[in-house]
Structure 1
Amino acid sequence: MTGQKRGITADDFYRMRYASDPQLSPDGTAVAYVLTMVDEELAYRSHLFIRSLTAQTSTPLTDGAVRDSAPRWSPDGTRICFVSKRSGKSQLWLIDVDGGEPRQLTRCRTGATNPVWSPDGKRIAFSSLLSPDDSFADTEGDEKKDEPKKAIVVGRMKYKSDDLGYVYDVNRQIAVVDVETGAITPLTEGDYQHTVGAWSPDGKWLAITANRVDDPDLQHSIDVHLVSADGGEWKKLTRSKGTFFFPTWSPDGKKLAYIGSESPTQLIATQKKVWMSDLDSGRQDCITEGWDVQVGDATIGDVRSPGHPNPGAVWTEDGEGMYFLASERGSSGIYHTTLDGEVTQVVGGERNVYGFTLHERGQTAVIAVSDPFTPGDLYAVNLATGEEVRLTDVNRDLFAELELPAPIGLEYEGEDGLPLHGWLLKPVGYEPGRKYPLVLQIHGGPHSMYGHTFFHEFHLLAAKGYAVLYTNPRGSLGYGEKFVQACCGDYGGNDYLDLMSAVKYACGRFDFIDTDRMGVAGGSYGGFMTNWIVGQTNVFKAAVTDRSICNWLSFYGVSDIGYYFAEEEIQASPFGNPEKLWQHSPIRHVANIETPLLIMHGEQDHRCPIEQAEQLYIALQRQGKAPVRFIRFPGASHELSRSGDPQQRVLRLQYTCEWFDTYLLQPQKVVME
């Protein structure tokens, strides 16, 4: 290594920070944002900061042992509404931009989230999870309804969620709160899920999204609706043929833009586009129909939690165009489209732009950026000149200590000639002439993408002496609609061959790779593929499978998305074509597995439930062939490696490294106890 720098460690996660959710002030002179960190008690904390675009430092607006999020400026720029659990449940709070003590605005028993100011600054729309026995009038601290139930009658198929747990009869409802009095006006009700969108410029309507079809368990469309801000009248804008999100109003209030897709057959494996409704004529158009690129950020990382606020399509001041995020070939940036669908890139580069806020009149944007050396920082961008100024450098001290290798881009072909794309990290301290073990990493989704973003696990493996190969096989976003859908009905087919082609290409190009010491790892779909690979080949000498799938027959009925995910992605059901579900199940090949396999899974994972790991572990143990170890993480959901308990995340990284060290760095075959 050069100088005094060192490789990254698992424990360095406790020192990492990232900035997110930038929000420009109404006058465009300052930006509010969230800084997330892990404190000395090894718990997540997030605080609000304000940064003048001309100043050199950021000013903290909140502090303490709290998690504050979603800062939203009042229209006059004097106050900020935000979400915090400082009173116990997530509630809306107000604070003056000059500082002082925050004031609690809502006291809903089930909490409040997703604040959106009305144009006149007198009301804020928000959402809350309510059962039929709940109301917005129930106050925080009233726990009489939270007594454990002796029996639960399940009447819907979507009765659990990896994000929310068991929901049964709970639905997300929307209300409006008066900023001065705290009086709440409910806007939605019924057995439907609703999501807050945006106020019309005149303050009379709220654009929201919801699935309000007759059978939302079987018809998964999400439509855009207009709801009277005073309650009562509804208008449905879309045709219940797709999924739409993030509605935004044109400046004159005559049009509404939103992000989504419309397809009679593809709910999951389809690219999102920019759409628009003309409110006078009722006409709906797909603005970016002819542009074969994913709208939104599809990049996977492992430091920032997923689900950062998407601003949707942000209108220009003259109403003749929109700015939005999009993902191409491992990068995400900001693009502009005219109403005729002419798209140009505004903010690009080999990096991951995962959020932005815009002051179009001042030709200023603040972007949230990650790259292979940056977990998450903010930059100010002059939209007229393209000039950028870095506003934050929240990991300066930590990263000054670290040696982080630069990714090497790879272009190669699959067995059928399909162009493919990926990256390789050399080991930290690489020396020409030496041989190094390789770890192939496989992303989840499968409809997401690896890219030009920070990945702690990859840098950790490189610091431990491994070359790290990560690629985007068919099924990944960022390479066009046909590429996204190419794995559907073919899991373990050409997608598997794409990954093996990547390994073959890397071994042929880089003579420092020791082909006798290669490992493979992945989570979710990447865990499925890891399980599949070790049942097909012994080329890898160790494997780590996280929150994986091994049996599509059981997955169909136990996952929160199982029945419709399997029908679209595997194109089969237990009552329609059970043989096909079994054909694509890695456990079918368990007798072939000889690769030492580490299985890790969260016990509260509703996306890929832990019974998948249990099946695989017992089957392998019963055979007594391949060394296997099973690690369960109590309380952990499917998001363990991205937003889970900090200590569990570090343990998971340590277990991963220990497993590969045992079987790839040490010559002896040792089964870890």
Structure 2
Amino acid sequence: MVPGDIGKLVNVSDPAVSPDGRTVAVTVTRADADANRFRSAIWLVPTNEGPPRQLTAGDESDNGARWSPTGDRVAFVRTTSADGSPPRSAVLVLPVAGGGEAVTVAESAEGIDGLDWSPDGERLAWATRIPDEGTGPDVKDRDRGPRQITTLVTRIDDVGWLADRRRQVFTGRIDRTEAPRQVTTGGADHGSPRWSPDGTRLVVVAGRHDTADLDEVEDLWLIDADADRTGAPPEPERLTDGTLLWSNPSWSPDGTRIAGIATDPSIGFKNARPLVQPVAGGAPVDAAPGLDRTFYPTLGARPPVWLDDEHLVSTREDRGRVALVRLDASGATAPAEVVAGDRCVVGFDARGGTLAFTSTSPNEVGELSVAPLNRVSPERRRTSFTAAFLRAAPPNPVERFTLTSPTGEDLDAWFLPPAASAEANEPWPLLVSVHGGPMTQYGDQWFDEFQLWSSAGFAVVACNPHGSSGREDAFARAIRSPAAAIEPGTGWGGIDADDIVATLDAALERWPVDPARVGLLGGSYGGFMTSWLLARTDRFAAGCSERAVNNLLSEEWSSDVGGHFWRELGVSHIDNPEEYLRMSPATYVKDLTAPILILHSENDLRCNIEQADALFVPLRLLDRDVEYWRFPGEGHELSRSGSPKHRIRRAELIIDFFQRRLGGQPATELPAG
């Protein structure tokens, strides 16, 4: 695999099963090299026999397909962008049988998500942002009035400003006899609308209280969907108790309960739970008591799907894997794995006796599989969009292994040998990769970066150190600050850094790796760890620090999640700024002497571009060996959702840097710019 192959990968996502269980709608996303963007379309996949059929096509991007209750129509979101103008979105409804015309239910100058059909099939609900007057995307910045800031949560990476464009929920009739109706108002973001089974109410997620930016709590709220449609939107009724961060709500078939994924935001590194909230009020029930794992996987969460009034399915992370598990809504019985193995389930749905899911493994790009809910027959793969690519460029093998942390605990790790070597009889150069988060995980999934590095002649090793998800709460909280009053740990750069070095040692013991040609790389928290270890040890000959946190103190006020770190670390930067600086790589920049490549996006709101400058400026003043590249127009998610050209260029820069510094396959000449 080479960097240009990034544009050849196809992503299959967001499966939605038809009411009769015979067809699955999915979103298929491909790169459009000429337009330098990714385009998506809706495809229909029979669950039994027959090839997938493309339902939508054109220059637009379509996603989020949802079946009507009768199964004869599909609603979806279309995003258009022409002549360099800001993208626009629309809610469309299209008959699944050939020959019908799409009906536009609503349009918005902002993105649309959260589509949900009313049970009678006459209305849809969705969420979109509503710019304040005079602040729409067509208005130039110099023509806008000043923004008044009253909250910590003012911007979100890849979304932009929130303060003057709050997310609200709408409903609209399919027959367009009435204009779409806004059913939420106020200075909070509202999302995830879901109709009650009787069609009289909607549940939405929002942090509507005055201190939502301080405590990060978001509740479930009920809205009367049939209130006076000519007056002001109805006042929502708070269902939950104002202590948890809720997401992904889903009504039980009898309408008496709402399941969702929730976590306690008052303390960082807390596993998200599958909770079932009675609509009549009272405390929620944990559907997986005693199972200390997160139900909000790194690859994203979906609303739990009810199988009947007492059982539901949801995804659960566990030591690098993501399984689909069956849950008892009462929590009386232990969760049972429905889809398991050395892979990661990403999306799922179940209706009409059919379970559909997309999954990925280290040597397989995500595709769609189906299985009967009664499991009388095995699961079957129903798409093969990347099969031709994998035949032409067979993936390099990934070996999962376990090593022992300096604390004596098992750590999960993965290793790839170099695909080939110009020095076949010589020890291999090695890249040690660190994931972001920190509370995320590497796992049994396709990761194009590992394939790229391996194909370029490097062995690759990665682990889930302390602080990662997929384990117990205590495992993640081990890197809270030692100054924390509750559950203190080693802080960032403590036991987690020791785990990374232990992973390097394990690779040296198991494989023919050259200890003099070891590189280190990672993004976000992984960028922090790269900057940190390059200044704290001489074990690494070079490193690539990408979208890194280099100054934790300034990160607390410059990040789009500013104010979050004191909960995660357990200590306030106001009371103890010295502790933040102690854990900041920029504090130790004088000790960073290894060659380093800094990559950062100029529109990154999670780790502001000043985080890269905090490393580059002192290194340049010290005349150190540093290379610095800034990507215009990109955010924190460059490596995952950036433009095709920028993603390819990023991979080229990393490979070229390490080939020059460590060896590997001969470096190819890079294009200018």
TM-score by length of 2: 0.92
Partner of 2:452: 460
SS at match of 1:561: coil
Structure 1 residue 235, shift from structure 2 partner: 2.4
CA distance, structure 2, for counterparts of residue 281 and residue 243 of structure 1: 17
State the Cα deviation string for residues 353-410 of structure 1 (Å, max 9, x = none).
1011102x52x21110111122211011123236011100101111111132221112
| 2:457/2:665 contact within 8 Å kept | no
Partner of 2:523: 523
Partner of 2:292: 292
Partner of 1:649: 647
CA distance, structure 1, for counterparts of residue 13 and residue 266 of structure 2: 35
1:507 and 2:508 matched: yes
SS at match of 1:410: strand
Partner of 1:46: 40
| 2:263/2:273 contact within 8 Å kept | yes
CA distance, structure 2, for counterparts of residue 666 and residue 381 of structure 1: 44
State the Cα deviation string for residues 276-297 of structure 1 (Å, max 9, x = none).
1222353422222311121132
Q: Which amino acid aligns with 2:348?
A: F
Structure 1 residue 558, shift from structure 2 partner: 0.7
> Counterparts in 2 of 1:230-249, with a 5 A limit?
230-231=226-227, 232-249=234-251
Structure 1 residue 433, shift from structure 2 partner: 4.8
Pick from 371, 376, 389: which aligns with 1:381? Answer: 371
| 1:403/1:428 contact within 8 Å kept | no
Partner of 1:424: 415
Partner of 2:487: none
> Counterparts in 2 of 1:85-124, with a 5 A limit?
85-86=79-80, 88-99=87-98, 100-110=100-110, 112-124=112-124
| 2:456/2:664 contact within 8 Å kept | no
Partner of 2:539: 539
Q: Which amino acid aligns with 1:662?
A: R
CA distance, structure 2, for counterparts of residue 260 and residue 447 of structure 1: 16
| 1:572/1:578 contact within 8 Å kept | no
| 1:426/1:468 contact within 8 Å kept | yes
Partner of 2:146: 151
Q: Which amino acid aligns with 1:57?
A: P
Residue ranges of structure 2 left out of the alignment (5+ in a row): 82-86, 228-233, 482-490
Aligned-residue CA RMSD (Å) = 2.3
Distance 1:419 1:240, change over 3 A: same
1:493 and 2:497 matched: no
| 1:352/1:451 contact within 8 Å kept | yes
* Identity between Structure 1 and Structure 2 (%): 31
1:177 and 2:172 matched: yes
1:623 and 2:622 matched: yes
Distance 1:263 1:445, change over 3 A: closer
TM-score by length of 1: 0.92
1:576 and 2:547 matched: no
| 1:185/1:230 contact within 8 Å kept | no
Structure 1 residue 167, shift from structure 2 partner: 2.4
| 1:125/1:196 contact within 8 Å kept | no
Pick from 633, 638, 644: which aligns with 1:640? Answer: 638
State the Cα deviation string for residues 451-487 of structure 1 (Å, max 9, x = none).
0111111111111111100110011111111112111
CA distance, structure 1, for counterparts of residue 55 and residue 647 of structure 2: 29
Partner of 1:303: none
SS at match of 2:337: strand
Q: Which amino acid aligns with 1:190?
A: G
SS at match of 1:217: helix
Structure 1 residue 263, shift from structure 2 partner: 5.4
CA distance, structure 1, for counterparts of residue 570 and residue 277 of structure 2: 33
| 1:24/1:358 contact within 8 Å kept | yes
Residue ranges of structure 1 left out of the alignment (5+ in a row): 1-7, 300-306
Structure 1 residue 144, shift from structure 2 partner: 7.0
1:193 and 2:195 matched: no
| 1:257/1:277 contact within 8 Å kept | yes
Q: Which amino acid aligns with 1:86?
A: T
CA distance, structure 1, for counterparts of residue 439 and residue 254 of structure 2: 36
Distance 1:145 1:470, change over 3 A: closer
| 1:17/1:35 contact within 8 Å kept | yes
Q: How many residues align?
A: 642
Partner of 1:224: 220
Partner of 1:302: none
Structure 1 residue 132, shift from structure 2 partner: 4.4
| 2:541/2:662 contact within 8 Å kept | yes
Partner of 2:337: 345
Structure 1 residue 109, shift from structure 2 partner: 4.2
Q: Which amino acid aligns with 2:24?
A: V
SS at match of 2:369: strand
Structure 1 residue 551, shift from structure 2 partner: 0.7
Q: Which amino acid aligns with 2:372?
A: N
SS at match of 1:195: strand
Pick from 19, 39, 45: which aligns with 2:12? Answer: 19
More divergent stretch after superposition (111-120 vs 18-27): 111-120
More divergent stretch after superposition (576-585 vs 161-170): 161-170
CA distance, structure 1, for counterparts of residue 57 and residue 614 of structure 2: 45
1:58 and 2:52 matched: yes
More divergent stretch after superposition (86-95 vs 385-394): 86-95
Pick from 346, 349, 354: which aligns with 1:357? Answer: 349
More divergent stretch after superposition (603-612 vs 424-433): 424-433
CA distance, structure 2, for counterparts of residue 614 and residue 185 of structure 1: 46
CA distance, structure 2, for counterparts of residue 239 and residue 65 of structure 1: 45
Structure 1 residue 134, shift from structure 2 partner: 8.4
SS at match of 2:652: helix
Distance 1:666 1:112, change over 3 A: closer
CA distance, structure 2, for counterparts of residue 480 and residue 647 of structure 1: 39
Distance 1:483 1:157, change over 3 A: same
Q: Which amino acid aligns with 2:586?
A: I
SS at match of 2:170: strand
CA distance, structure 2, for counterparts of residue 533 and residue 169 of structure 1: 41
Structure 1 residue 418, shift from structure 2 partner: 1.9
Distance 1:666 1:116, change over 3 A: closer
Pick from 419, 425, 447: which aligns with 2:439? Answer: 447
SS at match of 1:535: helix
| 1:521/1:530 contact within 8 Å kept | yes
1:473 and 2:454 matched: no
Partner of 1:4: none
| 1:105/1:179 contact within 8 Å kept | yes
CA distance, structure 2, for counterparts of residue 143 and residue 557 of structure 1: 29
CA distance, structure 1, for counterparts of residue 39 and residue 266 of structure 2: 43
Partner of 2:485: none
CA distance, structure 2, for counterparts of residue 666 and residue 160 of structure 1: 41
CA distance, structure 1, for counterparts of residue 151 and residue 317 of structure 2: 35
| 1:213/1:219 contact within 8 Å kept | no
SS at match of 1:453: coil
Pick from 389, 393, 396: which aligns with 1:405? Answer: 396
SS at match of 1:218: helix
SS at match of 2:289: coil
| 2:215/2:266 contact within 8 Å kept | no
Structure 1 residue 419, shift from structure 2 partner: 1.6
CA distance, structure 1, for counterparts of residue 414 and residue 55 of structure 2: 40
| 2:659/2:665 contact within 8 Å kept | no
CA distance, structure 2, for counterparts of residue 425 and residue 475 of structure 1: 23
Structure 1 residue 239, shift from structure 2 partner: 1.3
Structure 1 residue 568, shift from structure 2 partner: 2.1
Structure 1 residue 630, shift from structure 2 partner: 0.4
Distance 1:311 1:587, change over 3 A: closer
1:76 and 2:93 matched: no
